[in-house]
Every structure is written in structure tokens, then in C-alpha cells.
Chains A and B, each alone.
Chain A
Amino acid sequence: MIRWISQHGHAFMRALGQLVSTPVTSLLSIIVFSIVLSLPAGIFILIENLREISGQATDTQQMTLVLDTAARQADIEQINTRLEALATIEGFQFISKEIALQELLQESGMAEVMRNLGENPLPDAFVINLGSMSASEIEQLQAMMQAWPNVAHVLVDTDWARKLDALLDVARLIVIMLASVFGTALIIVMFNTIRLQILTKRDEIELSKLIGATDSYICRPFLYFGAIQGLAGAALAWLLLYFAIIQLNEALTELARLCTTTFS
């Protein structure tokens, strides 16, 4: 066991010595590995974050039922009872045209415009909480409500999020393909580097075999050589991404502040 550990330690040191003896070449290949690794990883992180945003949106799916401006109190109550009878929805909230107007007046500088209009142009509406529902269920519900009397529009607020979600699925697939292509390229580059190493160490390998070296003794330093370079490349890629994300976070926070959107 001790002999086995010392043999591995020896092979590791030989591999490390080889890397240190050609610092420029080693550094260049480590940089190449880190770039190849960080590119797909970076895009992947971006996609996963966007997915989280769209996921938050789709988690709280909402539908807005907009009534005719002509709808009276009795009509509103009729829709209220219909909604209460629906078991599939999680809940709903009535927003009268007066409340909507108040919110509009508070939120933006529309007060002047509204005053000039004279009367309230806004319709009454129900905001319906759908919970977690599949796209087809939502579509069915939407078609049903559309047929109700005094209903002008049924708006699904999370349409964009689902479209984004589908788009992200495509992007994710592309990144996976990209990563496999890059990964293959990485293996080929590593293979070539090690092959060149073997060529320069030809005399030593030949002699070692003649004096009783096993195949694994001869292979070990080259495997360590590859492993060290790969790990160093990965560490550098991680570092690159780390700093890139810090920079991006600052920029995104600024953007989010301007858009009053919350990014996580």
C-alpha cells in the first residue's frame, strides 16, 4: 500500500516536473482548456438564470377576465358565482373600474389625461389565480370564459413566460451540443499534447520497459499530466466565470433597478 502510494506520488511529481519544465506551453494549454470549458458553462449559467425568471412567472400563472364596459352589477355578480363554481382555479379577485382608475392615477402621470377624458374608460375585471396548470388546460379555460356573456377579453398574462421557457429549452439543447463538441475537441487536444510528450520521452520509455517497468508505471505520469492540466483549466474557467458573473451582476442590478424587475 505504501509502495503503491509512493509510486503514485512519484508519478505525480514527474508529471508536475514536466509541466513546470515547459511553463509557457503548459500555461497556453491550460488557458485554451479554460476558454473551451468556460464558454459553454457561461452560456449555461445565463440560460439557467433566465429559466429561473421565467419559472417564477409561470409558477404564479394568472388570467385576466375583462368585462364589457356595459356590464352592470348584476352581470358582475353572475360571473362571480360562475367563478366560484370553478374548482380548477386557485382563487380570484374582482377589480372594479374605480379601483383600476385609482391605481392608474397613482402609478403614472396619467392624471391629466384622465381628467380630460371626463369619464372612466376602464372596464371591470377579474384577476384569476390559476395555480399550476398545463398550457392546454389554460387554453380550454380561456375558450370557455370567452363564451360567457359580458366578457370582452380573456388575457393570459404568462404567455410570454411560456414562450421564453420553450425558447430556453432550445437554447439549452444548443449549449449541450456545443459543450459535447467542445468536450470532444478538448479530448483530442489533450490526446495530441500527451502524444507529443511521449515522443519527447521515447528514450526513457524504451529503457524503462527494458529494465522491468510495467505498462501502468509508464502510463501513470502521462495520465497525471493530463489530469493536472485538465483540472487547472477547469479551475481557471471557474475563476473566469466567477469574475464575469460578478461584473454582470453589477450591470444587471443597474438594469433591474431601471426596469424595476427583480433578478436573482
Chain B
Amino acid sequence: MISFNNVSKFYPGGFEALKGITLAINPGELVLFSGHSGAGKSTLLKLIPAIERPTSGNVVVGQQNIGTLRRSAIPYLRRNIGMIFQGQKILYDRNVFANVMLPLQVTGFDTRTSAARVRAALDKVGLLHKEKADPITLSGGEKQRLCIARAVVHRPTILIADEPTANLDSNYARDIMAVFESFNQVGVTVLISTHDTMLLDITRHRIVELKQGKLIV
């Protein structure tokens, strides 16, 4: 359960990214956040893993209030969340396998279980045959799938994807949407921000639209 209660976010300098957002997301839901760039989609999603903190209002993830969460508790919150970042953030000094391994290393999984989990995640996104590849050699779609594998390898309960289909052709976008749906079917809460109209047209899931930091009902 993720809930936003009258949440606002101001940046220093007076820019208002979010204004009075009230929203509830049920466990196991798949929600798409739409809106133009600058509408506040990314900011809204960044509140959930406490990358940003609300200026006012409450954000509650599970039982935890993000606004008052201690700094030392943030890593443990994030271990329940898988994230696909807008800038991908792939490490090019190691191969595909090591990139996907990272979230397990951070949480201190033993190497044997980790390797099996990494292969399972790579298999799910169809990249198992490229586990030893250098990420620089991957295509745009493959890189995105690598990011998805990395986001789900530690089996999070919440999956957040910020513009996952940006810079991909529509066939790839469809593929990637199907991957997200398969995770959703096994009970993962999936939150996707996008301005891809094609993606919004084909989906049968809930769409939350944002405009200049406000919800459009």
C-alpha cells in the first residue's frame, strides 16, 4: 500500500514540482503516470524510495512515513523497491552479469544463491545468452532489459520505472510493457511514468495524469 496525502514538493528557488497530491495505490496494482515532461511524474515516483522527501503532506510506503524516515533506514526501504532509472545508470566497467549482481551484493547475498538469481532475472528479460557481454555492446532495448533485470533480481514488492520506453521503437516498447505485466501478475506493484501515447493507448491499467504538479481527475 502506497499512499500520498496532500503531498507538495518545492525546490529551493520556489519551483513547485508537486502541489497537493492525494493518491492511493493498492498492493499488486499496475499504474501508469502520464503527463508532459516537467509535470512532476519523476518527482512523484522519487518520493517512494525516499530519493526526494516531501516538503509537506505525508507519503506512506508500507507502514513507513517517508517524510520522517531516519537516514539510516532508507537503504532497507530501498531493498524492497526495484528501480529502472531514466538515465539507466549501467556500470560499463563490468559485464552484464556483474551489473545485475549489484543489488544482491549490496544486500549481502551469498555468491551461489546470487548467481542463480541473476541468471533467473536475465532469463526473464531474455538476456541470458549475453550474461558475459560488455554492456557497451548491447542495443538500446537490450540495455533497458538489463536495467529491468537489475531492478527485479532481489525480488522487490514494488517496481518503479521512470520513462522505460523512451528512445525505444514501438515494438520494443510493447515487449517491455509485456515484461512489466508479467511481474505484475505475480503480485509486484508496478509504477511506470511515461509520455509514450502508444503505451497509454494499449494499456488496460489505471492511468494517473499529472499536469504542472497537479493530478488531473
Contact = CB atoms under 8 A, between A and B. Distances in A.
Interface of A: 2-3, 6-7, 10, 203-204, 206-215, 217
A210 to B, nearest CB: 6
Contact of A210 (B49, B93, B105, B107): B49
27 contacts: A3-B108, A6-B108, A10-B105, A203-B91, A204-B91, A206-B89, A207-B89, A207-B91, A208-B102, A208-B106, A210-B49, A210-B51, A211-B83, A211-B106, A212-B75, A212-B77, A212-B78, A212-B79, A212-B81, A212-B103, A212-B106, A213-B75, A213-B106, A214-B72, A214-B75, A217-B75, A217-B106
A181 B106 CA distance: 38
Contact of A212 (B85, B91, B93, B107): B107
A203 to B, nearest CB: 6
A207 B85 CA distance: 10
B110 interface: yes
B11 interface: no
Top 8 A-B pairs, shortest CB-CB distance: A212-B78, A212-B79, A213-B106, A212-B75, A214-B75, A211-B103, A3-B108, A207-B89
A226 B196 CA distance: 48
B76 interface: yes
Interface residues of B, number: 22
Interface in B83-109: 83, 85, 89, 91, 93, 102-103, 105-108
A258 B89 CA distance: 73
Contacts of B150: 211
A210 B75 CA distance: 8
B107 to A, nearest CB: 6
Given A203-B91, A204-B91, A207-B89, A6 B110 contact: yes
Contacts of A213: 75, 106
A9 to B, nearest CB: 10
A7 B107 CA distance: 9
Nearest to A2: B110
Contacts of A210: 49, 51, 78, 83, 85, 89
A7 B91 contact: no
A213 B110 CA distance: 16
Interface in B102-140: 102-103, 105-108, 110
A203 B77 CA distance: 21
B110 to A, nearest CB: 6
A231 B42 CA distance: 46
A4 to B, nearest CB: 8
Contacts of A206: 89
A204 B92 CA distance: 10
A209 B77 CA distance: 11
Contacts of B106: 208, 211-213, 217
Contacts of A208: 102, 106
A113 B46 CA distance: 104
A122 to B, nearest CB: 86
A7 B78 contact: no
A217 B78 CA distance: 14
Q: Name the residue in B102, B105, B106, B108 with the highest tally of chain A Cβ atoms < 10 Å from its Cβ.
A: B106
Interface string B46-89: 00010100000000000000000000100111110101010001
A210 B77 CA distance: 10
Contacts of A7: 108
Q: Name the residue in B51, B83, B91, B108 with the highest tally of chain A Cβ atoms < 10 Å from its Cβ.
A: B108
A219 to B, nearest CB: 13
Nearest to A206: B89
Interface string B2-24: 00000000000000000000000
A212 B105 CA distance: 10
B88 to A, nearest CB: 10
Given A6-B110, A204-B93, A207-B89, 18 more contacts: A3-B108, A6-B108, A203-B91, A206-B89, A207-B91, A207-B102, A208-B102, A210-B49, A210-B83, A210-B85, A210-B89, A211-B79, A211-B83, A211-B102, A211-B150, A212-B79, A213-B106, A217-B75
